[in-house]
């Protein structure tokens, strides 16, 4: 495992997305050997899962904030 793929503390969403972009560029442009390409792919999948989790957590937090005093939840569609 490379130092880039180890993250003892969760990275910010922007950090995850920047690293994912770097991984995509490396996989598209580099003539990396199979082992390196697989390691990059594995790191990318891990970071994508982490980014999705952070987004889900943020959505849940927004929903909690929108809850009114009566205890009803006002759901807002996040799809654009």
Which residues, in sequence order, are CB contacts of 66 under 8 Å at separation 6+?
Answer: 73, 74, 75, 76
Secondary structure letter of residue 70 according to DSSP: T
User: 77 vs 54, 74, 80, CA distance in Å?
Assistant: 18, 10, 8
What is the tens place of the pLDDT at every residue in 16-46?
999 999 999 999 986 878 999 999 999 999 9
Measured in degrees and rounded to the nearest 5, phi and psi for residue 70 equal -80, -5
The confidence score (pLDDT) of residue 20 equals 96
Cβ–Cβ < 8 Å for 44, 21: no
The confidence score (pLDDT) of residue 79 equals 56
What is the tens place of the pLDDT at every residue in 41-75?
999 999 999 999 999 998 888 877 776 655 676 66
Sign, CA torsion 35/41/45/46: positive
> Band of the pLDDT at 78, cuts 50, 70, 90?
low
């Amino acid at each position: 495992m490379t130092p880039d793929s180890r993250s003892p503390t969760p990275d910010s969403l922007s950090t995850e997305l920047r690293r994912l972009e770097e991984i995509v560029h490396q996989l598209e442009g580099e003539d990396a050997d199979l082992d390196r390409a697989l390691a990059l792919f594995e790191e990318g999948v891990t970071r994508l899962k982490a980014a999705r989790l952070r987004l889900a957590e943020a959505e849940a937090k927004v929903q909690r904030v929108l809850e009114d005093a009566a205890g009803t939840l006002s759901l807002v569609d996040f799809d654009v």
